[in-house]
Amino acid sequence: MKKLIFAAAAPIALIASGASAAETTSEDLQISATVLPECSLADLAPVDFGTLAINTAAGSDALLLTGTRQDSGQQTWTSCNYAANITIEGQPMQNQDQDNTGPDAGDFTDELNYRITWRSDNANDFLQANLRTANQTSVTRAQTGAFHNNAIVNTAIVTEDNPLRPLSGTYTATATLTLGAI
């Protein structure tokens, strides 16, 4: 009797397994998202060179700037998720206390030139930009791809960029560092 029950169950098992062999279908699901172009630049601290040294000895070099002054540099996160320009714009520092209108105006100046270097701390991350206000008021470097770097910004006052005698007073300027579309 036991043999008969097993024989009767076998055709039912074959029918059930045939039903699971049915044809399958598939469909592709398209998935998308957008990331907007973005650049960011961390805040920079003001640069104060303090009192600049001038030659106080009498003679042909009297009152000329002596020595180069450079800030210690500051790091600033510089990031763009696309190929972008880095730009530095700036005018010479202007004397806030007096204008160069005296009888010996050709020997003196009410402007001080400076240099700004904006560079990657890894030479492969983005192209360095150098502004020298003695020669230009803007410099732009087109980057070839996205970048994210804790960059270094150095500011300097160099005697060769300031060949005239500076008038006494406080000198100020605002330079602008910009990241943006090419």
Mean pLDDT, rounded, for 18-39:
89
Contact 146, 181 (CB under 8 A): no
Q: What is the DSSP string of 47-77?
A: ----SPPB--SSSTTTT-B-S-EE---EEEE
Judged against a pLDDT cut of 70, whether residue 15 lies above it is answered with no
Domains of the chain, by residue range, sit at: 31-181
Tens of pLDDT, residues 45-104: 999 999 999 999 999 999 999 988 888 899 999 999 999 999 999 999 999 999 999 999
How high is the pLDDT of residue 1?
47
CATH of domain 31-181: 2.60.40
The CA distances from residue 80 to 40, 99, 130, 179, in Å, are 6, 41, 19, 8
Contact 78, 41 (CB under 8 A): yes
- Cα distance between residue 147 and residue 127, in whole Å: 10
- Which SS3 state, helix, strand or coil, does residue 148 take? strand
